[in-house]
Chain A
Amino acid sequence: MGRYFKNIWDGVFTVLIGMKITWRHLFTPAVTIQYPDVKLKLPERARNRLYVNMDDCIGCDQCSMACPVDCITIETIKSTPDVDLGMTSVGTKKRLYVPRFDIDIAKCCYCALCVYPCPTECIKMTDVYEFSEYERTNLIYNYSVMTPAEIDEAKLKLSTYEKEQAAKKAAAPKPAVPVSAGVAARPAPLTGPAPAAGTPQNPEHKP
């Protein structure tokens, strides 16, 4: 019998305590903001949409290899020695054309694993989070700045250059081979320029 009355008293009392709490909250200011009109400023480390500064990209493929979901696709074309692609902002010389640098931002999991290995810090996560699209294919971002004409030109240059190099290698005189390996005590020294390596025209060309 006593428990019966205690239960009723507990019921009423705890209800009143709960009501006091919600009454108090009626007068506290709201913690929400009116989103499209007011937007929160994100902290500086915020990880949202990716951005690639193509001027600094050297085409090293580190970001693409680091991505756990394979959302970055990079294709590169070697540049010929007569072209100066410029320097990146950290002082590295660029040697590769990047005709294709696609990021499928729909696949991106925003883990920032691509940001850390980049040697020139050209891929970054920005604070942009409002990038919805109506078509899913619009979410594949093409960062490369080369036009198809430029790409074809670069490929042509490269293939031409490679053919030239192969031709030079084939046309150059073979180095003198020792006639009898075992008789002479000292093999004849190699005379003349070694044609294959280190062509004199481009002393600093390193593949």
Chain B
Amino acid sequence: MKEFLLNLLHNEIIVYSLMAFVPLAWVVPFALFAVWWERKISAHMQDRLGPMRTGGWHGWAQTIADILKLIQKEDIIPTAADKTLFKLAPFVVFVGSYAAYAAIPFSAAYIGSEINIGLFYVIAISSLVVVGLLMAGWASNNKWSLFGALRSAAQIVSYEIPVALSLLTVVMVTGTFDLQAINRAQTGYFWHWLVFQNPFLFIAAIIYFVASLAEVNRTPFDLPEAESELVGGYHTEYGGMRFALLFLAEYANMFAVSAIASTAFFGGWNSPFGDFLSGPLWGAFWFISKGMVFIFVQMWLRWTLPRLRVDQLMYVGWKVLIPFSFVLVVGVGFWVMIFR
């Protein structure tokens, strides 16, 4: 795609800016769709109907109506809040989630930036979200927001380790951090996908998925969002469009981690049927479908499970996921050594 646009426009700066906006053209409609989809899935799991009226067919325009409502709300900033940080925080959170899209390959023909440390970059840049959360909690000038933000930061930081370790197993098997190369290494039928290559990678995929739930603050790890400290956590004082931006950031993050899961373990833009239905556009279709499957599983878990208390959350992160990830790294190392 880069070459195509360069040939068309002959201006590198414009081409790169356009390439940077392509994921946004995906993320924003996706967030609108995902909120609607979550409401419908939760409704049908609970034997009810969900949005049905807004826009006619099954309430498809419900999220658009919600966004319009949020746009016209009064922008309230607490008097004693730190105004600069308060206003900046949602943007930092969004940037942290969105910047990861630069290195995620949507198809063989499109990747924002083909860098050879793609996976490393993705893990590192998504840590920026923590800074945004802390800014939100601190700038709200509300001790409960601060507690919620600190807890959320602790949760995200502790679960970065199992995320990194399980992705490390993928790197050990494929030998590269470059996400496009990882994808190319999984070409073929679905049994060529990394998740089926060895049992350690299978468990690594599960550990990555669970740890990524904590990264995005989804149930069962959503104590920061739910009644953390009896109030709302780090986004208590946010209303209107700022709140909408925080939620857009959350859904962008959800898709980003699903995309990484599908890229690293489940073949990315590769078709499961080998050459049948493959190609640049089909690649984008497969990639998005796999991402949606993981989003569906995240929503499914949200509506099934109760939430963990903070100390139990830390226990699961440090005492269950991390030891297992270490064992996996060692195991994959031995596997690679023996079977290559």
Contacts and interface: CB of A to CB of B under 8 A. Distances in A.
Interface of A: 8, 15, 18-19, 21-23, 25-32, 34
A71 to B, nearest CB: 36
Interface of B: 41, 43-49, 52-53, 300-301, 303-305, 320
B305 A18 contact: yes
B300 A19 contact: yes
10 contacts: A8-B320, A15-B304, A15-B305, A21-B304, A22-B300, A22-B303, A25-B46, A26-B45, A32-B47, A32-B48
Nearest to A19: B304
Nearest to B324: A8
A160 to B, nearest CB: 63
Contacts of B48: 30-32
A22 B304 CA distance: 7
Given A25-B44, A26-B41, A26-B44, A32 B49 contact: yes
A28 B300 CA distance: 15
A63 B53 CA distance: 44
Nearest to A18: B304
B47 A30 contact: yes
A91 B303 CA distance: 63
A28 B48 CA distance: 10
A6 to B, nearest CB: 13
Nearest to A20: B304
B298 to A, nearest CB: 12
Given A15-B305, A18-B305, A26-B41, A31 B300 contact: no
Contacts of B303: 22
A39 to B, nearest CB: 15
A31 B44 CA distance: 10
Nearest to B53: A34
Contacts of A31: 47-48
A22 B43 contact: no
Nearest to B302: A22
Contacts of A8: 320
B44 A30 contact: yes
Contacts of A22: 45, 300, 303-304
A174 B209 CA distance: 109
Contacts of A21: 304
B204 to A, nearest CB: 15
Given A19-B304, A23-B300, A34 B41 contact: no
Given A8-B320, A19-B300, A26-B41, A34 B305 contact: no
Given A8-B320, A34-B52, A25 B301 contact: no
Nearest to A36: B53
Contacts of A19: 300-301, 304
Nearest to B301: A19
B37 to A, nearest CB: 12
A25 B303 CA distance: 11
B82 to A, nearest CB: 40
B96 to A, nearest CB: 29
A31 B49 CA distance: 8
Nearest to A33: B49
A27 B44 CA distance: 7
B326 to A, nearest CB: 15
A110 B49 CA distance: 31
A68 B273 CA distance: 75
List 7 A-B pairs, minimum CB-CB distance, nearest first: A18-B304, A32-B48, A22-B45, A22-B304, A30-B49, A31-B47, A26-B44
B300 A30 contact: no
A25 B45 contact: yes
Contacts of A32: 47-49
A25 B41 CA distance: 10
Given A18-B304, A23-B300, A26-B41, 10 more contacts: A15-B301, A15-B305, A18-B305, A19-B300, A21-B304, A25-B47, A26-B44, A30-B43, A30-B44, A30-B49
Nearest to A32: B48
Nearest to B50: A30
B126 to A, nearest CB: 25
Contacts of A26: 41, 44-45
A32 B46 CA distance: 10
A23 B301 CA distance: 10
Nearest to B41: A26
Nearest to A16: B304
A32 B198 CA distance: 46
Nearest to B45: A22
A34 B301 contact: no
A21 B300 CA distance: 11
Contacts of B320: 8
B249 to A, nearest CB: 27
B33 to A, nearest CB: 18
Contact of B47 (A15, A23, A28): A28
B109 to A, nearest CB: 35
Nearest to B323: A4
A21 B47 CA distance: 12
